[in-house]
Structure 1
Amino acid sequence: MEQARVFLALKKEEEEGVSQLTVIPHRRGVQSFFEGFSLRNVQVDRIEPGFIACTFKVPPRLTDATGNLSSGAIATIVDAIGGAAIVADGLPLKATLNMAITYLSNAKANDELEIITRTMGHKGALSGASVIVSKKITGDLIATCQLSCFGKVLSKI
């Protein structure tokens, strides 16, 4: 345990760099830097109750060291668009409880992707959505995701 603590400890110059960071707390209803950074290139092509179709051109800023779209960027995109499908079904915004993402192949910078999202159903405060990310030209699957979300139930009064 001590070895891990020593390994993870910040060096003097790292401590100074971190101490100069300004961290602004996230406010409800205001898009975070991270969301804007990841979702800036998403274009909604079609939206219906419980269904959203989008296109996304992979920007170089979201690629990893090997030039592939990073798994974290994929997770952010499917979480946001999956949640948006639930809202498109007429329900309030919900928090994601669980995401099961299967990464099937890679996307490179400037690849154009298609993102299809459908709600799978609602039961009380729980909702489910399914997201498929594929290359627009070839149809090759990049990732699939199933989301479970929880939120307030609207009163019928």
Structure 2
Amino acid sequence: MEEKKAREYLQVNPQHSHRATGLNVPPKPRNAIHSFYEEFAIRGIQVDAYQPGFISCTLIVPPHLIDRNGFLAVGAIANLVDKIGSVVLFVKDVSLNVSVDMSISYLSTAKLNDELEITAKVIGEKGAYNGAVVILKNKATREMIAEGRHSMFCLKRSKI
């Protein structure tokens, strides 16, 4: 019985199929540094404030990040924690920036066209290991949607 429910849930209906086939994906320019995935996932983010170790952004939840139930998809939230956390932890002129760990607490949901405030700040550095906290809040209600912790290993270039 559970298997049947799972199959029904995963079945693509015509409405969702139309959303996927209606995507217009331009060819990637030769010297582009971002992939379709990155552009798709972070399109629409507006940076409101930035200083070293802190970033604040706004995102109005777009239709392409909504799940079947009409809420911001948990995968989209994870991706936002990854991308915004990476930005705040990014170290210029470092040969290797690698995500080591990410943990996310999903506390509430967001709906289509909700305006989200996304903030990230560095919470610690130990050698090449850096950590940040990323918080997603509904801007109108101030309700916390998710809290994520992201850590990166940033290997500096050798001076040799």
Q: Which one is further off, 62-71 or 91-100?
A: 91-100
1:55 aligns to 2:58 (yes or no): yes
TM-score (normalised: structure 2): 0.75
Q: Distance in 2 between matches of 1:58 and 1:132?
A: 15
Q: Distance in 1 between matches of 2:54 and 2:158?
A: 24
Q: CA deviation at 1:91?
A: 6.9
Specify the alignment match of 1:94 in structure 2: 97
Runs of 4+ in 1 over 3 A off after TM superposition: 89-93, 154-157
TM-score (normalised: structure 1): 0.76
**CA shift in 2, pair 1:155/1:29, >3 Å:** farther
**CA shift in 2, pair 1:147/1:28, >3 Å:** farther
Q: Distance in 1 between matches of 2:45 and 2:64?
A: 14
1:68 aligns to 2:48 (yes or no): no
Consecutive unaligned residues of structure 1, counting only runs of 5 or more, are 1-23
Find the residue that maps to 1:82 and give its secondary structure: helix
Q: Distance in 2 between matches of 1:74 and 1:91?
A: 28
Specify the alignment match of 2:124 in structure 1: 121
CA RMSD of aligned residues (A): 2.3
Q: CA deviation at 1:151?
A: 2.3
**2:70 maps to amino acid:** G
Q: CA deviation at 1:156?
A: 6.5
Find the residue that maps to 2:68 and give its secondary structure: coil
Identity of aligned residues (%): 47
Q: Distance in 2 between matches of 1:104 and 1:40?
A: 24
Encode CA deviations 1:88-121: one digit per residue, 9 max, x unaligned. x657462211111000000001000000100112
